[in-house]
Structure 1
């Protein structure tokens, strides 16, 4: 992980300050404020600000649903009820603002979640640092033979060494040309907004990302899943740790009802019922496609 001198100075100054407030604070989250947690080789995640806690979720729910929630005896029970029955609005009452440093190709996946406020480092205005994501040898893998958007077995031997060298050499060469093009020594120098087009997708960018808890949990459900691409999954896993300390009741419910749960189609439910009755259910008589059957069997075995 690499922090600039200015960023480290900002973090040190902010962590040295204390403020009195009447708003809700969470000790676990206060401990995380401004700290940068490393991800990948040069990336990080740090909490810039947060709003709300478990109680804020319950407060919003009781205002919204009134007498309908009075049978729930405590905050944790109410939160689990809300999560279990897919009530979303109360979770929108909490917000989190993160500073994230990440490779551009990961950012392009991340930005697909169009439910947050984002302000990214401007390569039109500033010069990007010479920092590239280079995978560890164990993460250099061949194309999956069963999933068109996934990876399979790790590359080995000469092939792995050759690919790793390509990644390092191409990244360095592209940045050398970038620096040369924008230089104004003995030439006019190409505009930064044009020179950046020659940089590879593994160069690091940074952004501030602010999102409410409902949409954050949706992001984590997809990106912290074992099927998510490794390079974005490690960011999601780091954020999961932060959320667990911020809203522990909500995060536990999320683990139980979203992250650790599965969704069954009506055909899958029908097959499961038939199995429980002792009927032999096979791929031929299940009424599902081969892939659906494979996923169903992986779920129940």
Structure 2
């Protein structure tokens, strides 16, 4: 497929994110054999043939007392499509995460941009560390939508103009805003995912409050739903113990 600019490459707008679990090796039994090797040696592999429900107390104990390493012996890879500003927040999570993102050096970036829908609270009240977001007015929502769409269209027109003039993609991309959608693969283990969820979601069972930006929380919620199906006992223990990563 050619990277040449298309004459009808008009901007499009989204308010959602995409998260797909593309591969995994993750189960509650992974926690059990990793934990029991300290006392059972090679016999800990027997846990692979047992019903993990029989040992959910051990999983809860490990979570409660923050014995974290047994939760690292698993892997999940997600495909994520989201605005670039979401990915910049992702990159704050470095331990236990691996990323590969699409490159504006090697392909023409597509004109898909983020515009929040009316469910997105627009107005911040309070001071840093003690604030909340409240609903915006209809006028504010209309202003955000109109201003973002106009700005995106102008930026992408400038980008295409430079590409058509023979300017390198890695130079021309500098005019594009962080509301542009990008895509990446993100790989993590259960322990690193729990740390991510503890910071990037608000939850009634959380022992430590968090105030994530809504857009990265949207990604986190979809990751959490996939992980909950893979490791239900570990997920239940995470919630029961205040959603604090061990």
TM over 0.5: yes
**Matched residue, 1:49:** 23
Matched, 1:136 2:136: no
Shift of residue 219, structure 1, vs aligned partner = 0.6
Shift of residue 138, structure 1, vs aligned partner = 3.4
Shift of residue 143, structure 1, vs aligned partner = 2.7
4+ residue segments displaced more than 2 Å: 40-43, 64-67, 146-155, 157-160
Matched, 1:75 2:59: no
Shift of residue 46, structure 1, vs aligned partner = 0.9
- Unaligned runs of 5+ residues in structure 2 are 1-13, 45-52, 204-210
Corresponding pairs, count: 213
Alignment of structure 1 residues 152-171 onto 2, 5 Å: 152-171=133-152
**Matched residue, 1:19:** none
SS of the equivalent of 1:114 reads coil
**Matched residue, 2:196:** 219
The CA RMSD measured in Å over matched residues stands at: 2.2
Looking at both structures, which has the greater relative contact order when contacts are Cα pairs under 8 Å and sequence separation is at least 6?
2
**Matched residue, 1:26:** none
Q: Structure 1 159/210 Cα, relative in aligned 2: closer, same or farther at 3 Å?
A: closer
CA distance in 2, matches of 1:44, 1:157: 27
- Unaligned runs of 5+ residues in structure 1 are 1-39, 262-301
Q: Structure 1 214/120 Cα, relative in aligned 2: closer, same or farther at 3 Å?
A: same
Matched, 1:61 2:35: yes
SS of the equivalent of 1:144 reads strand
Preserved contact between residue 141 and residue 151 of structure 1 (Cα < 8 Å): no
Shift of residue 204, structure 1, vs aligned partner = 0.5
Matched, 1:203 2:180: yes
The one of 94, 100, 113 equivalent to 2:80 is 100
**Matched residue, 1:274:** none
CA distance in 2, matches of 1:75, 1:208: 33
